[in-house]
Amino acid sequence: MPSIDLSLAELRRYVPSTEPPADLDAFWKRVVDEALSAPLDTELRASEARLARVSTFSVTFEGFGGGQVKGWYLRPEGEGPFPGVVSYHGYSGRGARPLELYTLAAQGIAVLSMDCRGQGGDSPGISTEAAFGGGWLVQGLEDPEHYYYRTVYGDAVRAAEVLCGFAEVDAERIAFTGVSQGGGLTLAAAALSPRARFAWADIPFLCDFPRAVEVATADPYPELPKLLRRRPDLHDQAFKTLSYFDAANLAPRISCPVVVTVSLWDDICPPSTIFGAFSRLEVDDRELVVQPFLGHTMAYETEERRLFTVLERLGVN
């Protein structure tokens, strides 16, 4: 598979065209204030998974704007306080299950995963003002107040509150991580949640939407042009709505150290979209890890580096 985007030299110079709406900060202040103030109503149920030195639970909490959000929680043995990690999953997937979270938990980290609404996990879906027959990317595009990812970003903020609400968790040592959609949610949560002390976002989705729909050849981004071919009247409003949720526009709000990975042969989350979002980061402690010959996947070496970096950043010996 050849490179599907700009050359590496061009990528390093690329500047995204997406612009934040004038009321971006006010919009997200309302969302975050609501996300932080509503009761979480967290429930834990012991899991049948038997993993050495770790207790496993299914978790349910009240989602942003109502409804239940499901996920999983792993707690190391001992009294703590333990550092914590919130894990976000890829598009159409489900929150990481106990075995997938075990590597972190076995190192002495309390780790929580979250099922995005209506996707491949157990969290029920949400209703939007319009159902266009596509995937979640295009649901509610007619109004940012009704857009699907407004709810999911709110849920992502609340998931961090759930984790920090456990007595055994050190709320001053919290990291966010995820791959693809999970990488995009990692950036969004780091921009919106007061809990983030470190973020590692792998090959993130939800970045630089105007560029993404021009370059990506594999879903989910092509859901948008497919819709707009049928509904050209929605074009301007669709991109206005997306501008509130674009990680490239939220990036300047991130204040914690952040690592972002990008694959140069990625036809799902094209590299220019990720370079564009990364270029908007203003925090000094940031790094872009480039995977030269990979598509929409992660190299073992990068995953290993992620683990050791998270341990180091959270002060785990």
Active site residues per annotation: 180, 266, 296
Cα 224 from Cα 148, distance rounded (Å) = 14
3-state secondary structure of 15: coil
Give the up-direction half-sphere exposure of residue 296: CA atoms within 13 A in the CB hemisphere. Answer: 20
Cα 11 from Cα 4, distance rounded (Å) = 12
Phi, psi of 145 (to 5 degrees): -70, -20
Closest CA to 213 of 226, 198, 195, 204: 226
Q: What's 51's DSSP letter?
A: B
Strands (E), the chain: 43-46, 54-62, 68-76, 82-88, 110-114, 169-179, 198-202, 258-263, 286-291
Give per-residue burial for 34-71: e unless 16+ CB within 10 Å, then b.
ebbebebebebeebebeeeebbbbbbbbbbbeebebbb
Cα 169 from Cα 80, distance rounded (Å) = 7
Phi, psi of 186 (to 5 degrees): -60, -45
The partner residues of 287 in beta bridges, in order of sequence, read 259
8 A C-beta contact, residue 163 and residue 110? yes
